[in-house]
Structure 1
Amino acid sequence: MSIKQSELILNPDGSVYHLNLKPEHIANDIIFVGDQYRVDKVTKHFDAIEFTTQKREFKTTTGTYKGKRLTVISTGIGPDNIDIVFNELDALVNIDLETRQPKEKLTTLNITRIGTSGSLQSDILVDSFLLSTHAIDLNGMLHFYQIDAVSHPEIENAFVKHTNWSSKKAHPIVLSGSKTLENKLSSENVYKGMTATAGGFYGPQGRVLRLPLQDAELNHKIDNFNHNGIRVTNLEMETSAIYGLANLLGHNSCSMNAIIANRANGTFSKDPGKIVTQLIEYTLDKLVE
């Protein structure tokens, strides 16, 4: 049975609805950035640009870097945006958009996030790089999918017990990143750890302006969590959604974080743009090695 028009929405030109892309517009190796203006900060290093488009916050540019074809996409902020971007990218390579049938031979995408993040650990200082070996979903978006086969319940249950996690909140989900991309992107200059993905920037990440928190001690509990050497190193808003959907759909994914804040020390980078630029250059070179 073909996928209904209401479920897979296409534009009049045949492109997928939100991204405004057709299959020929994307490479198999893709870089995610949150900020639409960061796309150009990545692609200015390219040897050549073959295609670019933008719809809403979703800007896409495809070109070559040192002979390797790459696509850079801005996802915007949050797991809800990742849900849109990831499903539409998978549709581009694994669904025949004319017949609306899933393809028999599936394509695996390699997706690397280059983003900013705040460290929860005093020893992971601002202006450093961090690779997410795991991600813990604190926002609940992935519960709308059949996630059990790719999650880690032992770590999840230990986290729930350690933090006295409220039963009114979505049960945390732990996912792994791609070992293939982890090995490619690792070096002695990169920290590793489990990234917590929140559904918001203020309350969900423990920030207080005028509203009290449900659990004012939650960040402290999170940064003290350690399960067989796996600790929560940083907070951001996309990685768990990327890892969950990548695992479910059969793609490789890895999240590279520029640490611009340290919540434990109360510090913030004096030049966040510089460390982001350095992470972009580092990641591009690692991807083409």
Structure 2
Amino acid sequence: MSTVVDKSQAGLTARQYHIGIAPGEVSSVALLPGDPFRVPFVAEFLTDVKEVAHNREHRTMTGWYKGRHITATSTGMGCPSTAIAVEELARVGVTSFIRVGSSAGLQPGIAPGDLLVSEGSFRNDGTTDAYVPKGFPALPDAELTLALTRHSTRLATEAGTRALAGISVSDDAFYAETPEWIDHLQRMGLLNVEMEASALFVVARLRGLRAGMVCACSSNLVDGASLYDEANTALKDGWMRSIEAALETAVELEL
């Protein structure tokens, strides 16, 4: 008998190794910020909040929003930890995922705090290459994405900012993004760059799950801003609007 471990079958009904969650402890929909310290931002919208687990970069809280049971789990930075979070959350009962986080604009005029909804991700990462060949697209759920766009547009308009939808790119190496690479992405018409969506979309698609992403613009890489400042009021307000758009989508679609 082979003793080689089949990771697709190992620990399916147990408390998950990385996220520290067991079946029955979370809801069917999860909002996914990258930073564990942003999970409480989601909790600010919820009632009956519980902290379920905090292991490594994965912090999880649950609560209720307009009658829907909501989970928030941080993915950490990058596609490897995002793929792990999605795989393990799916094992404990999550069927829909909405990434809420920060992303840098790649087109002129995108301002900090603007909301950016992904209609697909250019896979410039290594993790998804382990799942699928290069030609496989990283696409979010269409109905979920349309709902995110509607709610993002309404909330942004009410706040006097903007919501934009387009194709994003998921890069692996934050400090390897040269001016030449950023210019190349801009000339391809890509809307924004972040580090997690391609893994979220690919894993969700392969596992028969629903996924989408709405991020707040943290900076604009073609208008001269290179790093964001977490004290920036516009960015914090954008995060909160992205979370509200995701929550309203979960309610509308009964995720």
Tell me the distance in 1 between the aligned counterparts of 2:98 and 2:224. 28
Residues 185 and 287 in structure 1, CA contact (< 8 A), matched pair in contact too: no
Residues 25 and 51 in structure 1, CA contact (< 8 A), matched pair in contact too: no
- The yes-or-no answer on 1:121 pairing with 2:134 is no
- The yes-or-no answer on 1:258 pairing with 2:202 is no
Tell me the distance in 1 between the aligned counterparts of 2:137 and 2:112. 25
Paired residue for 1:35? 35
* Secondary structure of residue in 2 paired with 1:232: coil
Matched letter for residue 202 of structure 1: Y
* Secondary structure of residue in 2 paired with 1:25: coil
Cα distance change of structure 1 residues 89 and 140 upon mapping to structure 2, 3 Å threshold: same
Deviations 1:132-156 (A, max 9, x none): 00001112211112x25xx7x4xxx
Paired residue for 1:218? 181
Written as runs of structure 1 = structure 2, the 5 A alignment for 1:193-232 is 193-203=166-176, 205-206=177-178, 217-225=180-188, 231-232=189-190
Tell me the distance in 2 between the aligned counterparts of 1:222 and 1:44. 35
Equivalent residue in structure 1 for 2:144, among 164, 168, 181:
181
Equivalent residue in structure 2 for 1:192, among 139, 157, 165:
165
Deviation at 1:50, TM superposition (A): 4.6
Paired residue for 1:246? 204
State the superposition RMSD in angstroms. 2.5
Paired residue for 1:54? 54
Deviation at 1:16, TM superposition (A): 1.1
Written as runs of structure 1 = structure 2, the 5 A alignment for 1:78-89 is 78-89=78-89
The list of structure 1 runs, each at least 4 consecutive aligned residues, that deviate by more than 4 angstroms after superposition, is 3-6, 8-11
Cα distance change of structure 1 residues 246 and 46 upon mapping to structure 2, 3 Å threshold: same
Written as runs of structure 1 = structure 2, the 5 A alignment for 1:261-272 is 261-267=219-225, 270-271=232-233, 272=235
Tell me the distance in 2 between the aligned counterparts of 1:135 and 1:91. 24
Q: Which moved more, 1:187-196 or 1:257-266?
A: 187-196
Tell me the distance in 2 between the aligned counterparts of 1:193 and 1:139. 19
Tell me the distance in 1 between the aligned counterparts of 2:186 and 2:11. 43
Tell me the distance in 2 between the aligned counterparts of 1:4 and 1:84. 20
Deviations 1:243-268 (A, max 9, x none): 11111111110011100100111135
- The yes-or-no answer on 1:26 pairing with 2:26 is yes
Residues 182 and 221 in structure 2, CA contact (< 8 A), matched pair in contact too: no
Deviation at 1:51, TM superposition (A): 5.1
Deviation at 1:91, TM superposition (A): 2.5
Q: Gapped runs of 5+ residues in structure 1? A: 94-107, 154-172, 207-215, 226-230
Paired residue for 1:100? none
Tell me the distance in 2 between the aligned counterparts of 1:35 and 1:51. 15
Tell me the distance in 1 between the aligned counterparts of 2:211 and 2:191. 18
- The yes-or-no answer on 1:65 pairing with 2:38 is no
Matched letter for residue 90 of structure 1: A
Matched letter for residue 239 of structure 1: A
Paired residue for 1:168? none
Q: Percent identity?
A: 25
Q: Gapped runs of 5+ residues in structure 2? A: 157-162
TM-score normalized by structure 1? 0.74
TM-score normalized by structure 2? 0.84
